[in-house]
Amino acid sequence: DQQVKQNSPSLSVQEGRISILNCDYTNSMFDYFLWYKKYPAEGPTFLISISSIKDKNEDGRFTVFLNKSAKHLSLHIVPSQPGDSAVYFCAATRKIIIQGAQKLVFGQGTRLTINP
Amino acid sequence: EAGVTQSPTHLIKTRGQQVTLRCSPISGHTSVYWYQQALGLGLQFLLWYDEGEERNRGNFPPRFSGRQFPNYSSELNVNALELEDSALYLCASSQRDNEQYFGPGTRLTVT
Under an 8 A CB cutoff, do B98 and A104 touch? yes
**Helix residue ranges, H only, A1-116:** none
Q: Which of A42, A43, A95 sits opposite B98 (nearest CB)?
A: A95
DSSP string, A51-63: ETT-SEEEETTEE
DSSP H/E element including B88? strand B87-94
Sign of CA dihedral A5, A101, A35, A85: negative
Give SS3 for A93: strand
User: What's the CA gap between B54 and B45, in Å, rounded?
Assistant: 13
The shortest C-alpha distance from A116 to chain B (Å) reads 27
pLDDT in tens for each of the 116 residues of chain A?
Answer: 679 999 999 999 999 999 999 999 999 989 899 999 998 878 899 899 999 999 999 999 999 999 999 999 999 999 999 999 999 999 998 876 545 556 888 999 999 999 99
Distance of residue A42 Cα from the nearest chain B Cα, in angstroms: 5
> pLDDT tens for residues B57-81?
888 999 999 999 999 999 999 999 9
- Other beta carbons within 10 angstroms of residue A84's beta carbon come to 18
A103 → closest Cβ in B45, B97, B99: B45
